[in-house]
Amino acid sequence: MFRIGPWTIPAPVVLAPMAGVTDRPFRILARRLGAGLAASEMITSDTRLWNSRKTRQRMNHDGEPEPRVVQLAGADPEALAEAARRNVDLGAQIIDINMGCPAKKVCNSLCGSALLQDEPLVARILAAVVTAVQGAVPVTLKTRTGWNRDRRNGVRIAQIAEESGIAAIAVHGRTRADFYEGEAEYDTIRDIKAAVGIPVLANGDIDSADKARRVMAHTGADGAMIGRAAHGAPWIFREVNGFLTTGALPPPLSRSEQRDIVLLHLESIYAFHGEDSGLRIARKHLGWYSGLLDDAQDARARFMAAGSTSAQFACAAERLDEWVCRAVFPPDETRIPPGNLQVQGNAG
């Protein structure tokens, strides 16, 4: 466990904010399955754009467990400060600042990880946001190790963050130039942890309980953040946090338990996003969940082709039911033919 301001985070591994993925249904699901924290999708600091349905959905936290985390992106200190104040008024309990997104669309606006090129601007932004919320809620930072490998200034960014009043920092073990290529490196995260006194979360390529344990041991990080490894496997938090907390992996979920989680997730997507958006957003998650199935390629094609949420759900339920049944009643070719059974014991 670690603390962010007044909040004790109950488990060391948390869900990374991911645009187009960590909507309210997925955040609630991840928390139910053991994630210590789950931040919103990135929200622009330009309040003129908040009237769009997409942004309003991202700012909806009804039914979420505390603490509710809102991630903001922008490059103007005053705009970010105002966006933070408004989100606190709307129920945000932690404000997270995005300086880690490597997407061209974000970096071309000098937001996300593009900000790592301008340390004085980083300092102004962080100080402005911390001052704006006036201690009402803690402010955290999501970042990378630097802009590129020749300018890994992650340690200095972390020091600026601590000096500005940031309560915790999550660091992806790649530079912006790396995007998601190659392997994450954790030495810089180790150096960051040694340089600051605030909680540090390690992020990047953590996809198992053992990997989380090794990364946290190497870096000394207070926690870890999992993003892409949760695609189609939200139960990873149950496994990883169970292992880190008790020293032993929890019993694996049965196929029927996994099926029920997937179907519950689909229902929550449809209820939150509605028919058209729900159908489209569920396709993405079903594309990942189809990896569970023996006939993944055919199942994925059918999930994508469904023309309504009801048809999509029925197709998913049917395929998942078949998958569950195969675990109980293996296909005929895997059974021992009756004539080949050997009876042990005395003859005659």
CA 330, CA 294: separation in Å to the nearest integer? 12
Instruction: Choose the final residue of a domain: 246, 268, 303.
Output: 246
Residues 115 and 263 in one domain: no
Give yes or no: residues 262 and 280 share one domain: yes
> How much is the pLDDT for 108?
55
**Listed residue (243, 227, 155) closest to 184, CA to CA:** 227
pLDDT score recorded for residue 1:
81
Q: Decide which of 215, 246, 277 is a domain's last residue.
A: 246
Distances (CA, A) of 191 to 99, 218, 221, 274: 19, 10, 10, 46
Average pLDDT rounded to a whole number, residues 98-107: 74
| Domain boundary residue, one of 246, 271, 298 | 246
The partner residues of 37 in beta bridges, in order of sequence, read none
Where residue 13 sits, what CATH number does that domain have?
3.20.20.70
Classified as helix, coil or strand, 285 is helix
What's the chain's average pLDDT?
Answer: 91
**Alpha helices per DSSP H over the chain:** 24-32, 53-58, 77-89, 104-107, 119-133, 154-164, 187-195, 209-219, 236-246, 255-273, 275-289, 296-305, 309-328
Q: Quote the pLDDT of residue 346.
A: 38
Higher pLDDT, 167 or 345: 167
Of 155, 206, 199, give the one whose Cα is nearest residue 184.
Answer: 206
101 as an active site residue: the answer is yes
Residues 102 and 131 in one domain: yes
Query: How buried is residue 51: exposed, middle or buried, by Cβ count under 10 Å (0-12/13-18/19+)?
Result: exposed
pLDDT at position 344, please? 37
| CA 24 – CA 21 distance, rounded (Å) | 9
The catalytic residue among 101, 107, 111, 325 is 101
- Does residue 294 form part of some domain? yes
Q: Read off the pLDDT of residues 133-182 as tens digits, 9 standing for 90 and up.
A: 988 999 999 999 998 898 999 999 999 999 999 999 999 999 988 989 99
Query: What 3-state class would DSSP assign to 221?
Result: coil
Task: For residue range 188-241, list pLDDT tens digits in order.
Answer: 999 999 999 999 999 999 999 999 999 999 999 999 999 999 999 999 999 999
Q: How far apart are CA 139 and CA 160, in angstroms?
A: 13
Give the pLDDT band of residue 272 (cuts 50, 70, 90): very high
pLDDT reading at 334 higher than 70:
no
CA distance 244 to 240: 6
What confidence tens digit (pLDDT) does each residue in 280-327 have? 999 999 999 999 999 999 999 999 999 999 999 999 999 999 999 988
| Residue 207, CA distances (Å) to 114, 231, 236, 268, 312 in order | 27, 10, 8, 25, 29
Q: What pLDDT is attached to residue 330?
A: 66
Count how many Cα atoms sit within 13 Å of the Cα of residue 103 in the half-sphere of its side chain: 10
Instruction: Give the residue carrying structure tokens 């104040």.
Output: 85
Residue 340 lies in a domain: no
> Which residues are paired to 171 by β-bridges?
143, 202
| In a shared domain, residues 280 and 158 | no
**Quick check: is 16 in a domain?**
yes
Residues 83, 213, single domain; the answer is: yes
The pLDDT value given to residue 107: 59
Q: Give the residue from 195, 159, 152 showing the smallest Cα distance to 175.
A: 152
pLDDT band at 347 (very low <50, low <70, confident <90, very high): very low
Q: Could you tell me the sign of the dihedral formed by the alpha carbons of 4, 180, 194, 155, in that order?
A: negative
Give yes or no for a contact between 74 and 111, defined as CB atoms under 8 angstroms apart. yes
Per-residue pLDDT of 22-66, as tens digits, reads 999 999 999 999 999 999 999 988 877 787 777 888 888 888 999
Same domain, 233 and 266: no
Give the tokens for residue 94: 């932690």
Domain holding 169, by residue range, is 2-246
Q: Is residue 111 part of a domain?
A: yes
Out of 156-160, 309-313, 329-333, 342-346, which region has the weakest mean confidence (pLDDT)? Answer: 342-346
